[in-house]
Amino acid sequence: MDFLKEWTYTICITLIISVIFSILTPKGNMGRFFKIILATFIFLSFIYPFKSAQIDFTLPEFNISDAQSEQSQTYEKTVSTQVEQKLAEGGYSSCIAECDIVMKDNEIFIEELKVSVPSTYNADEIKQYLFDSMGINAEVYYLGE
């Protein structure tokens, strides 16, 4: 917070001094020269406090494999959620979907989709429902298997 106070104070003082010198500058070619000097002075006063601020401007390292892994996990959760919602729409509640995907050439391929259902439902019926409604061939298991 001290850095911000110091920076604001420096800018205010610089602007006051610049206004005074701007009023006192002559007209014509010399006036343009003085205005360039004043503009440089103002610009430097904005930058100078950063020199002593001890601010770390280094960017964190970016690892592409970590980003792809996180993106893959997000897609897996999205597909699983959509399958669970579709099953709930079809009257099959309390089903759990787990999805494994593979990303190639900016395309998503569902490698494996496992759906766990309560034993009160017919697994073949749910498998056929998912294939008819979403075009996905899922492996359907009863909860606990």
pLDDT of 87-136, one tens digit each?
999 898 888 999 998 888 878 888 899 999 998 888 899 999 999 998 88
- Rounded-to-integer distance, Cα 15 and Cα 78, Å: 54
- Rounded-to-integer distance, Cα 63 and Cα 131, Å: 37
Whether the pTM exceeds 0.75: the reply is: no
pLDDT tens string 8-25: 888 888 889 888 888 888
Residue where the block lists tokens 């970016």:
62
Pairing label, strands 96-104, 139-142: unpaired
